[in-house]
Amino acid sequence: MPSAVRIFLLACIGVTFAYLLWHAGEPLRLNIGDPWSDANVLSSINYVKQYGFLETSFTDILDVGPLTADSYRYIHYPPLAEIFYGATAKYLGVSDIGTFRLFALGFSGLAMILLFQYTRRIWNESVALIATALFTTSLFWMMYADSMHQAPVMQASAFLALWGLVRAIETRLPRHYAAAFLGSLACFLTSYDYWLFLPAAVLFTVYSKLGNPFAPGRRHFVVLCALGCLSGILIKCAFVIGAVGWEEFVADLHLQFLERSTSTYDRKFASPLSTLVRRLTLVFSPLFWVTAGLTVWRAIRAPSLVSVIKDGVAWILVVALMFLYLFSQLAASQMLASQPLLPFYAIGSALLVHQLIVDGGTRRGLAIAWLVFAPVWSFYFMLSHPRSVLDRVDVAKVNTYMATNDRNDFMMSNLLSDGHVQASFQRHYWPTLDAADPSDAPVQMLRVFEITGTDHVHAAVFTGPDSRFIDKSLWPLAMPRRLWSVTGWPHLYRTKANKIIAEYDKNVLANLKEVDAQKVLQLSNFAIYRIDRKTVLERVFRNVPVVTSIDLGSLTSTRHKLLGWTGPQLTKDGQLGISSIAGHFTCPNVSGPASAASPGPNACKTVLTKLGLQMKDEQFVPKAELMLRLERSCDVQLSFELASPSLIEVSVNGFSGRQPAPSRKASFVVPSASIRPGVNIVMVEHLLGDMIPSTSVARIDITQACP
C-alpha cells in the first residue's frame, strides 16, 4: 500500500473519532443514532442505582416511579450493555449522558483495534487497515459508535472473541482461549444481532487457519466458542426467568419472533425489501452494491463450495441476509438491525480495494477514488444533518413546572418516543391526539379523561421536523403510506420526510385547538400545553343544539354523542339507520375533582407493557352517553325506538329508569328535579349482556312538559 494511502486511512479514522468525541457531551439526542435506546438505558440506570441488581434481577426496568410488580421489565434484549452502564452509574457515581458516551466510544475504539488485529491475521495488514477505515467511516457506524445501547459493546465483544480465537490457534496460550470464550459469552449476552455472524465467523476462522473445523485437534476451538455463546444465552434466560417467571419468559420468547419477523403487531407492515435496499445504500454508500454484486458473481462462478468459503466474505453476506430475513419487521422499521451487514461491507470492500491497489495502474486509481468517496459520502450526511437534542435547561424548566401543576403519571407528546418522555420527565408517554377530523378530538380527549380518572393533562408538543427525523419516528408516519423513500433513505429525500412530519404536527396542533389546549411553557424546540376536562366539556357542549328528536342514523347525531356509541350506520337489511351502544372503559376510582392549587393524579394508573401503555383498574361499562340541551327544568319524556327488542336503563342527574321487559319501544319520564337548564348527560345502558351483541337505537324523541 502506498504510504500516502496509509496516512489517509489513518487520518480518516482519527478524524472520525475526533468528530464523535467533539459531540459526546451533547444532551439526550432526538435524531442521531439510537436515542430511543439511550433514553431507555437512562431510565433503567435509575432503578439500578436505587434498588441494585438483585432486586432488578439484572433486567432492564424501563419505567417510572417506584419498583413494583407492575413495573415494566424489558426482557426482549440481552442486558449486558445496560448492566455495564448501570454498574458504572451505581459504583462510579456517573449520571451525565456525555460521560456514558465516552465509555461507549471506548468500546467502539476497542472493537476497531480488535477488528484490525483479527483481519490482518486472516488476510494481511493492508486489508486490515482498509477494512478498519471503511468500518469507522461508514455512516452506519458513525451514527451508533457512541450509543449507550448494544452496538459498541457487541462489536467489541464479538471481535474480542474472534481475535482471541485466531491468537489461540497461533499460540495455544490460556489467555487467548479465555478471550475467545469471554468474548463469545459477552457478545451473546449483549445482542441478538451477531447470533448468526459470530458462530459463522468462528467456523470460518478455524477453517481458514487449520482446515476442517470439526476434525480432531481442531473441534475444541469450536466447542470453546460455542460454550461461550451458549453460556450467554443461558445467563440471559436465567435473568429473565428470575425476574418474571417461566410462563412469562416463554410468552415473551414467542412474542419476539412474532413482533420482530411478522406483521402480527404491525398490521400495515409490508415490503421490507423496498426499505432495506434504500437504507443499505444510504448507510454503506452506493459502493455497497459493487461489493455485493462482485461477491455474488464470484460465488456463482466459483468451481466449488470450498473455494466460495475460502473467498472469505460470501459467508458473511449469507448469514447477514438470513438475519434480515428472519427479523424482517425489525430490520425494516429500525436502522440498527442492519448492522450484521457492516462486517461484510468493511471486509468485503477492503479485499476488493486491496486487489485493485495491487493490480496498479488505472485500477489503483479506482481504489483510491473508492477510499475517498466512502468517507466523503458518510461525512456529508453527518455534517449536513441538523442535530436535534432535548436541552437540559428545557427539561429542568418543564420538571419544575410539572412538579407544581401536574401529578399525573403520564404526559402526552408528539415525539413518537416513549423513552425520552420517561427518562426526561419521569412520566409515561401517551401519544397526542391526531384525529384526521379534528372535530373528533374533544370526544377522544374526554375518553382519555374518563379512563385515566384525571381532570387535566399536559402535552409536550415538539416543533420542527428535526426532532422526529429518525427511523423509529418516521416509520409509523411513512410506512402506512408506503413511502419507502422516507423509511429507507430520508436523508436523500429530506423535503419529503420533513413534509410528512409537518403534516403530522399540523394535525396535532389542529386537535389541540379543538380541545382549547393552553400553552403554558415555550421551550427551544417544544412547548407544553395544558388540557382541562372542564374546558373540553364546555367546548363539546357548545355544539349541542336544542332538538325535539335525534335520528341516530344521521351524521347530525354525532353532536349529541359523547362516549360509548358506534355508527351511525345501517342495519344489515339496509332498512334502518342506527347507532349502537358499544360501551366504553372508565376509571372506577375517581373520587372527585382536585383543587386548582394542588392538582390530583390520575386515579387509574398507567401501566407500561410489552404491547404498549395500558390502564390499571379500568372498568368496562356497557353504557353510552347522550347529550341533550334543555332550556328549562321541566319534566322530560324520552322515547326510544330500538332496532330490535332490547332492555335498556336510562339515568341522568340522579334519576334512573329501566324498561320492564325487552321491547323495541322504551319510554322514560325524567322529573324536573333531575333536569338542569343547559346540557344534560343521559346514560343509556345495555342490560342484556351477551344475549345480543348490543342495543341499537334508531331514534329518540324528546318531549318537555313545561307549565
* Claim to verify: residue 576 and residue 459 sit in the same structural domain: no
pLDDT the model gives residue 129: 97
Q: What is the mean pLDDT of residues 336-346?
A: 94
Domain boundary among 347, 363, 384: 384
**552 domain-assigned:** yes
pLDDT the model gives residue 267: 60
**675 domain-assigned:** yes
Q: Who contacts 92 (Cβ-Cβ below 8 Å, separation ≥6)?
A: none
Strand pairing of 410-413 and 456-462? parallel
Q: What is the mean pLDDT of residues 450-469?
A: 93
Cell 445496560 sits on residue = 82
Q: Residue 469 — φ and ψ, nearest 5°?
A: -85, 75
* Claim to verify: residue 554 and residue 524 sit in the same structural domain: no
* Structural domain boundaries, residue 631: 543-583+622-705
CATH of the domain at 701: 2.60.120.260
pTM (2 d.p.): 0.91
Q: How many domains does the chain have?
A: 3
**401 domain-assigned:** yes
User: Higher model confidence: residue 630 or residue 256?
Assistant: 630
* Claim to verify: residue 374 and residue 400 sit in the same structural domain: no
Q: How confident is the model at residue 331 (pLDDT cuts 50, 70, 90)?
A: confident
pLDDT the model gives residue 264: 64
* Claim to verify: residue 423 and residue 518 sit in the same structural domain: yes
What is the distance between the alpha carbons of residues 461 and 513, in angstroms, rounded to a whole number? 13
Residue 595 has pLDDT above 70, yes or no: no
The dihedral through the CA atoms of 192, 478, 457, 556 has a sign that is: negative
Q: How confident is the model at residue 686 (pLDDT cuts 50, 70, 90)?
A: confident
Residue 265 has pLDDT above 80, yes or no: no
* Claim to verify: residue 165 and residue 285 sit in the same structural domain: yes
* Claim to verify: residue 318 and residue 421 sit in the same structural domain: no
* Claim to verify: residue 406 and residue 290 sit in the same structural domain: no
Residue 692 has pLDDT above 70, yes or no: no
Instruction: Read off the pLDDT of residues 477-521 as tens digits, 9 standing for 90 and up.
Output: 998 888 999 999 999 999 999 999 999 999 999 999 999 999 999
* Claim to verify: residue 658 and residue 639 sit in the same structural domain: yes
Considering only CA atoms, which of 70, 39, 73, 43 is closest in space to residue 56?
73
**607 domain-assigned:** no
Instruction: Read off the pLDDT of residues 307-325 as tens digits, 9 standing for 90 and up.
Output: 777 777 888 999 999 998 8
* Claim to verify: residue 323 and residue 445 sit in the same structural domain: no
What is the distance between the alpha carbons of residues 497 and 519, in angstroms, rounded to a whole number? 27
Supply 225's cell numbers: 466458542
* Claim to verify: residue 117 and residue 255 sit in the same structural domain: yes
Q: Residue 692 — φ and ψ, nearest 5°?
A: -130, 155
Instruction: Read off the pLDDT of residues 385-443 as tens digits, 9 standing for 90 and up.
Output: 999 999 999 999 999 999 999 989 999 999 988 889 999 999 999 999 998 889 889 99
* Claim to verify: residue 153 and residue 288 sit in the same structural domain: yes
**300 domain-assigned:** yes
What is the distance between the alpha carbons of residues 27 and 32, in angstroms, rounded to a whole number? 12
Give me Rg for the CA atoms of the chain.
Answer: 31
* Claim to verify: residue 16 and residue 155 sit in the same structural domain: yes
* Contact (Cβ atoms closer than 8 angstroms) between residue 431 and residue 402: no
